C-alpha cells in the first residue's frame, strides 16, 4: 500500500510542476487533463501527507522516551505517543478505504424493475409503495424518472413497473437496492386484523451505452400489438405496444406505456441493453471466488434483503443487521441513512478482503 501511495505522491508532485509550466498553461486541453488528474489525487495525497507527519512525530517521541533524561518530558512524550499511534491506525484505515477500487458503473443512470411477488393483491400494493418511495427519493436528489413499462394491479398497485432514473451517481446510490423486499402489515381487505406478509422484488440495472452492449438487428424479433391499460381496456386503436425478443438469449422485453410505437421500441431496447449488460456482469461475477465477493454487493435478486414492518414502524436491512424505526419517513423517500450505512458496510467488507489478501 505504501509503495502505491509514494508513487501517487510523486505523480502529484510531477503534475504540480507541469501545471506551472508556461507551455502547459498555453495548451489549455493539456492543462485541463493534468488539472483533472491532480484533483483526483489531491484527497488521498493530502491524507497521506498527514499520515507521514503523524508517523514522523511518533518516531520523534520514541527517541524522547528512550533517550531523554528529563522524566517529566519522557512522560509527556509517552502520553502523546499513545494518541499519535491511535491516530495512525485511523489514518491507515482511511487510506485503505480511499485506495479501494471504485466501481466504474457508479456514475451511470439506472433502470429499475419492481415486481410483485408472493402475497396476491397486497404484494402489488407494496410494489406500488416501493415505486413511490424511489420516486420521492429521486425527487429529493434532483433526478429524473421516466416510466418505461407498467402493469397495474388494483388501486395504486403494480404487477410490474420498469422505469429509468437519470442523474448524478444514481447507480452508486441505488445499486444495493436489488433483492426481495418484504412487507408485514394488516391489509385493507383483512377483516380480522391479521398481519399479512407479502413481498416484491427489486432489480437495479446500470443503463447500458451502445458501446457497452452491441445488439445486431438480425438478433431481434420485434412484434407489435394493441396496448391495453388496467383491467384490459383498450388504450388506443393502433398497434403501438412493442415486444422485443433477443433470439440468442431468449430474453423478452415489452413496452406499451407510450402512444408511439417508435418510442415504445426505443424504451424496450433501452431495457434490453441494460438486462444484457447485467447478464454479462453476473456471468463475470460467477467467475470470482466466493471469498472475493462482498456480502452486501452480490446483487442477488432472490435474496431477502429488507423487511418493512408497518405495525412497528420498522425497517430492517438483513444484510447489515440494521433496524430503523422510521418506516413512515423512509417510504417518503428519506433513504439516505439506509443507503449510507449499506455503503459503509460494503466498503468495510472490501477493506477486510484487502487486509486478508
Residues 8 and 144 in one domain: no
Mean predicted confidence (pLDDT) in 300-310: 84
Is residue 356 in some structural domain?
Answer: no
Residues 82 and 47 in one domain: yes
pLDDT on residue 295: 45
Residues 79 and 124 in one domain: no
The helix or strand, by DSSP H or E, that contains position 56, with its residue range, turns out to be helix 28-67
The helix or strand, by DSSP H or E, that contains position 248, with its residue range, turns out to be none
Q: What is the pLDDT of residues 224-247, one digit of tens each?
A: 887 765 444 445 556 788 899 999
Is residue 104 in some structural domain?
Answer: no
Q: Which residue has the cell 447478464?
A: 279
pLDDT band at 312 (very low <50, low <70, confident <90, very high): very high
pLDDT band at 14 (very low <50, low <70, confident <90, very high): very high
Residues 33 and 144 in one domain: no
SS3 36: helix
Mean predicted confidence (pLDDT) in 216-227: 85
Residues 259 and 321 in one domain: yes
SS3 326: coil
Residues 187 and 262 in one domain: yes
Domain span at residue 152 reads: 110-287+296-349
pLDDT on residue 301: 55
- Domain end, chosen from 99, 129, 149, is at 99
Total of domains in the chain: 2
- Domain end, chosen from 99, 125, 159, is at 99
Is residue 17 in some structural domain?
Answer: yes
Q: Which residues of 21-30 are buried (b: 16+ CB within 10 A; e: fewer)?
A: eeebeeeeee
Round to whole Å and give the CA distance between 27 and 13.
20
This prediction has a pTM of 0.66
Backbone angles phi, psi at 242, to 5 degrees: -130, 135
SS3 206: strand
pLDDT on residue 278: 84
pLDDT on residue 16: 92
What are the DSSP calls for 121-157, one per residue? HHHHHHHHHHHHHHHHHHHHHT-EEEEEEEEEETTTE
Is residue 355 in some structural domain?
Answer: no
Is residue 19 in some structural domain?
Answer: yes
Q: Contact, 161 vs 131, CB < 8 A? A: yes
Is residue 354 in some structural domain?
Answer: no
Residues 179 and 301 in one domain: yes
pLDDT band at 287 (very low <50, low <70, confident <90, very high): low
Q: Which of 32 and 156 is assigned the larger pLDDT? A: 32
Q: What is the pLDDT of residues 129-181, one digit of tens each?
A: 999 999 999 999 999 999 988 988 877 799 999 999 999 989 999 999 999 99
Amino acid at each position: 500500500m505504501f509503495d502505491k501511495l509514494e508513487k501517487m505522491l510523486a505523480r502529484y508532485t510531477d503534475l504540480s510542476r507541469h501545471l506551472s509550466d508556461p507551455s502547459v498553461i498555453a495548451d489549455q486541453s493539456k492543462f485541463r487533463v493534468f488539472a483533472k488528474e491532480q484533483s483526483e489525487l489531491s484527497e488521498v495525497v493530502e491524507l497521506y501527507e498527514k499520515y507521514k507527519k503523524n508517523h514522523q512525530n511518533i518516531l520523534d517521541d520514541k527517541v524522547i522516551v528512550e533517550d531523554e533524561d528529563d522524566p517529566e518530558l519522557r512522560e509527556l512524550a509517552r502520553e502523546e505517543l499513545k494518541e499519535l499511534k491511535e491516530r495512525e491506525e485511523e489514518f491507515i484505515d482511511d487510506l485503505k478505504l480511499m485506495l479501494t477500487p471504485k466501481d466504474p458503473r457508479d456514475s451511470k443512470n439506472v433502470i429499475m424493475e419492481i415486481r410483485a411477488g408472493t402475497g396476491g393483491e397486497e404484494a402489488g400494493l407494496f410494489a406500488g409503495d416501493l415505486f413511490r418511495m424511489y420516486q420521492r427519493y429521486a425527487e429529493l436528489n434532483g433526478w429524473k424518472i421516466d416510466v418505461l413499462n407498467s402493469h397495474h394491479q388494483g388501486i395504486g398497485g403494480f404487477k410490474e413497473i420498469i422505469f429509468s432514473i437519470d442523474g448524478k451517481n444514481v447507480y452508486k446510490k441505488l445499486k444495493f437496492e436489488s433483492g426481495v423486499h418484504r412487507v408485514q402489515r394488516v391489509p385493507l381487505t383483512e377483516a380480522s386484523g391479521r398481519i399479512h406478509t407479502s413481498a416484491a422484488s427489486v432489480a437495479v440495472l446500470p443503463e447500458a451505452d451502445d458501446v457497452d452492449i452491441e445488439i445486431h438487428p438480425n438478433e431481434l424479433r420485434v412484434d407489435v400489438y394493441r396496448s391495453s391499460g388496467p383491467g384490459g381496456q383498450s388504450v388506443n386503436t393502433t398497434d403501438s405496444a412493442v415486444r422485443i425478443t433477443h433470439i440468442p438469449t431468449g430474453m423478452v422485453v415489452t413496452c406499451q406505456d407510450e402512444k408511439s410505437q417508435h418510442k415504445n421500441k426505443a424504451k424496450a431496447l433501452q431495457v434490453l441493453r441494460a438486462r444484457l449488460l447485467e447478464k454479462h456482469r453476473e456471468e463475470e461475477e460467477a467467475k470470482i471466488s466466493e471469498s472475493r465477493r462482498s456480502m452486501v454487493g452480490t446483487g442477488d435478486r432472490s435474496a431477502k434483503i429488507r423487511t418493512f414492518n408497518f405495525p412497528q414502524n420498522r425497517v430492517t436491512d438483513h444484510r447489515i443487521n440494521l433496524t430503523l424505526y422510521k418506516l413512515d419517513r423512509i417510504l417518503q423517500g428519506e433513504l439516505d441513512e439506509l443507503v449510507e450505512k449499506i455503503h459503509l458496510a460494503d466498503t468495510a467488507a472490501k477493506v477486510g478482503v484487502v487486509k486478508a489478501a
